[in-house]
Amino acid sequence: MKKPMKRIILFVGLLLIVFLAVYAYRIYDSLNGLSKGKTVAVEGITDWNGKDRVNVLLLGGDSRDSGKDQNPRSDTIMIASVDPAEKSIVLFSVLRDTYVSIPDHGKGKINAALALGGPSLAIQTVSNLLDIPIHYYVYTDFQGFMSLIDAIGGIEIDVEKNMDYEDAADGHKFDIHLKKGLQDMDGKTALQYVRFRHDATSDFTRTERQRKLIAAVTEKLQNASSLVKLPGIIKSVSPYVDTNMKPTDMLKLGRLGLSAKGNGIDSVQLPPTNLIQNIRTKSGAALSADPAALQGFVSSTLEQANEQASGKGEKDGK
């Protein structure tokens, strides 16, 4: 190889190293801004060893009716469960009207746990209900959700039907007007899509839409163009997000999510329809499920996800 060519290759290699170093620093610096330290001691959290299944509680808060120093109720409750060995991902969404035992507060709807005791109480409540450890939590609100969608350049979603709802109490800021069909959504329209529940199946189809959109966002974040823009994406949502994850935890989970990309995401409602019991409480209608049956369902769902991922891995390896 001629000397000029060797020099060009060496120069390009040095540029690549510098770029990767700067990119890694930018990601680490932006991730560091996500943990606000609002929850000094997060009770109910289980340490993750990096090898076993990891469970992340995703909380979406509706802070419109909350005071400045008050925790909002959960508008969305999800658990992302990832197995590093089998590279399987299951996304559970918990119906917010599920009637549960909230530690030190008696019985109530599960979406009240966040308002009563912040992320710590939400973590304990969900962990007790499903009999699984919670290792991390991520909290955001409407603004954080919209900022994320806008930062990734929008998302394409096939809207199942026309959706219309108006609420004067918000000054019509969060009115919903969507048309049926494939649409490129920005943050505002994506929020309308995941919030709509004014139909016959109410929260059941709403949580299904939430899981559908989260899966679409996850897929888009895994492509090359989004990875290049990742530091800027993280910076844009940072003001609206809180988590107990350290930057090193986030990087580890990010790599894990990329390695599990080929197996897809299993999307599951909790409680499943066949276990739901409609009940009446002092505060109105709610949903209930036998705890043992619900925990058995969660356990079997995770086992099936691992079996499917393992079978796919063996097939791809042939």
- From first to last of its 318 residues, the chain has per-residue pLDDT tens of 555 554 555 555 555 444 444 444 455 566 666 666 544 456 677 788 878 899 999 998 876 555 555 677 788 898 999 898 888 889 899 998 999 999 999 999 999 999 999 889 999 999 999 999 999 998 988 888 899 899 889 999 999 999 998 877 666 777 888 999 999 999 999 999 988 877 656 677 888 888 888 888 877 877 767 667 777 888 888 888 888 888 778 778 877 776 766 566 788 999 999 999 999 998 889 999 999 999 999 999 999 998 988 776 555 554
**Residue 12: what pLDDT?**
52
Residue with tokens 């709610």: 286
Buried b (16+ CB within 10 A) or exposed e, 269-282: bbbeeeebeeeeee
Report pLDDT for 18.
43
Structure tokens at 90: 């299951």
Parallel, antiparallel or unpaired: strands 265-270 and 88-94: parallel
**Three-class SS of residue 293?**
helix
Burial status of residue 228 (CB atoms within 10 A of its CB: 0-12, 13-18, 19 or more): exposed
Q: Give residue 156's pLDDT.
A: 92
Note the pTM of the prediction, 2 decimals: 0.79
Torsion-angle region of residue 286: left (phi > 0), alpha (psi -120 to 50) or beta? beta
**In terms of residues, how long is the chain?**
318
Residue whose structure tokens are 């990767």: 20
Distance in angstroms (rounded) separating the CA atoms of residues 3 and 309: 49
pLDDT digits (tens, 9 = 90+) for 99-118: 999 999 999 999 999 999 98
The span from the first CA to the last CA of the chain, in angstroms, equals 39
Give me the pLDDT at residue 314, please: 57
**What is the pLDDT at residue 244?**
87
136 Cβ neighbours under 8 A, 6+ residues apart: 45, 48, 54, 55, 56, 57, 243, 244, 245, 249, 253
Which strand (E) or helix (H) includes residue 247? Answer: helix 247-259
